[in-house]
Amino acid sequence: MLKWPKAGRTNPAAVPDDAPRREDSAALNVIKRLSRSISTVGKDAAEVRGALEDTQRVVQQQSEAMQALARQLQQISQVQAAITAATAESAAAVQRARGALGGVGSEVTGMATTLAQVSDAAAEITKISLQTRLVAFNAAVEAKHAGDAGRGFAVVAEAVKALAGQVEASSKAIVSAIASLQDRIDRFSAELTENPAKPSQIHAAFSAVEQDVQRIAASAADSGQQMQLLNERAHELDREVTQASHGLKVAFDGSDRFLRMAEDLVEQIAESGVEVDDMPLIRTAQQAAGEIAGLLEAALRDGQISVADLFDESYRPIDGTSPQQHTTRFCQLTDRLFPAVQEKMLGVSDRIVFCIAADRNGYIATHNRKYCQAQRPGDTVWNTANSRYRRIFNDRTGLASARNTRPFLLQTYRRDMGGGRFVVLKEAAAPIVVQGRHWGGLRLAFSF
């Protein structure tokens, strides 16, 4: 058994010659195991980050829903205030109508009194006409006794008698008409006069209207109280959603930093020269980036495309696409050149999911063939998974890979496959440089 020398003394003969090599090998094994562990942690962090993204999206939707609810509640409150004001005005209008009805009743009573006076006067006229007829009759008798001398007087007496008859008939007609009118006025006056013991139809209708208005007012008051409670609860929920959103942002930022730290550790281990598990795929990404850059430089030299067109950032939307697709002036060139490199790299390892070249803004003009399916109108879920070309992926991972200028970048993320389906991937990215100018990045995604 190997014995280590005591402290303060050295004994070279006690240390085997291959001890440093074995220690280096052990250290490398430890580093490799550490790299695998960190990679697993990174996968977990990516899943946590994705779950936080989902939760954050739901909270954002809830926040938007609460804001919409608050606006609707405010509109309802305004309507309630208008109903309350209209109800108060209706009640006042009913009271004014009652007052006016009372005034009409007084006028009708005055009319009845006047008609009674007219009727009395007509009755007096009738009496006078009777007396006049009696006098005329007596005069006619006296004129007859007078013989020829009284003939002229008899004619006058007869005319007076006839006129008195006409006056009597007219006065009786007036009395009859006034009696009929008086009866109608009495009935109308009874309708207009308020009698709680025996309410008329008019006053019963007014009472019914008043009761309806009162019920509306009571309902509006109750509704207003409920609206007040709803508003208070809505404000509480909005504060809770805001607090939850803030807490999620803190957790999201923390998970983001933790994920980036795990990725940095793996990158540093790889940059140190230790052959970690992902190193072959990192070199594959760098190789593909170099080949893509060579093809683009050759295209520029041959005049297949101009520098301005190759670095075109005018992304023109394609109508009727969902998710949104765009075109640029270099699409035809990349469709012609990129598949030769991108499809070849898919065969390097079964772990490779895709190999694509993105410009500086995360725009993928040409994807792997299996993801370049034509979109199906109205089928966003299928399009998301199968029609991934001509799209801008400007999320955290997409932009970081597209704008990376270091020899390589290693990331872990959840890939959205549409319909709520996600897959956790690693991605090695290498910069694509054309004639000394950064064009974009080669993205090589692979499974754990």
Task: Give the DSSP per-residue string, 394-412.
Answer: -SHHHHHHHH--SS-EEEE
Q: Which tens digit of pLDDT belongs to each residue from 163-192? A: 667 777 776 777 777 777 767 776 776 666
Domain extent listing, the chain: 32-257, 278-446
Reply yes or no on whether the pLDDT at 353 is more than 90: yes
**CATH node for 278-446:** 3.30.450.20
For residue 5, the SS3 value is coil
Is there a contact between 401 and 409 (Cβ–Cβ < 8 Å)? yes
Reply yes or no on whether the pLDDT at 3 is more than 50: no
Q: Please tell me the predicted confidence (pLDDT) of residue 283.
A: 94
Nearest CA to 170 among 204, 125, 131, 134? Answer: 125
Q: Which tens digit of pLDDT belongs to each residue from 6-24? A: 334 444 444 455 555 555 6
Q: Could you tell me the pLDDT band of residue 310, with boundaries at 50, 70 and 90? A: very high
- CA separation for the pair 31, 151 (Å, rounded): 162
Q: Please tell me the predicted confidence (pLDDT) of residue 4.
A: 34
> CA 29, 33, 37 angle in degrees (round to 5)?
170
Q: Please tell me the predicted confidence (pLDDT) of residue 1.
A: 34
One-letter amino acid of 43: K
Reply yes or no on whether the pLDDT at 105 is more than 80: no
Segment 255-281 mean pLDDT: 71
Q: Which two tokens stand for residue 344?
A: 């070849």
Q: Please tell me the predicted confidence (pLDDT) of residue 258.
A: 57
Q: Please tell me the predicted confidence (pLDDT) of residue 352.
A: 96
Q: Phi and psi (nearest 5°) for 124?
A: -60, -40
One-letter amino acid of 172: K
Average pLDDT, the chain: 78
H helix or E strand, kind and range, residue 429: strand 421-434
Which range has the worst mean pLDDT, 142-156, 268-282, 329-343?
Answer: 142-156
Cα of 239 vs its chain's centroid, Å = 19
**Burial environment of residue 68 by CB neighbours within 10 A (0 to 12, 13 to 18, 19 or more):** exposed
- CA separation for the pair 157, 136 (Å, rounded): 5
Predicted TM-score (pTM) of the model is: 0.54
Q: Could you tell me the pLDDT band of residue 389, with boundaries at 50, 70 and 90? A: very high
Reply yes or no on whether the pLDDT at 211 is more than 70: yes
Segment 110-134 mean pLDDT: 71
Q: Which residue has the higher pLDDT, 268 or 313?
A: 313
The b/e string for 275-299 (b: 16+ C-beta within 10 A; e otherwise) is ebebbebbebbbbbbbbbbebbbeb
DSSP bridge partners of 411: 427
Q: What is the largest CA-CA distance in the chain?
A: 196
| Unique residue bearing structure tokens 């709520």 | 420
Q: Could you tell me the pLDDT band of residue 307, with boundaries at 50, 70 and 90? A: very high
Is there a contact between 106 and 141 (Cβ–Cβ < 8 Å)? no
- CA separation for the pair 320, 380 (Å, rounded): 11
Q: Could you tell me the pLDDT band of residue 349, with boundaries at 50, 70 and 90? A: very high
32-257: CATH, from 1.10.287.950, 3.90.550.10, 3.40.50.2300, 3.30.420.40: 1.10.287.950
Segment 103-118 mean pLDDT: 69
Q: Which residue has the higher pLDDT, 422 or 248?
A: 422
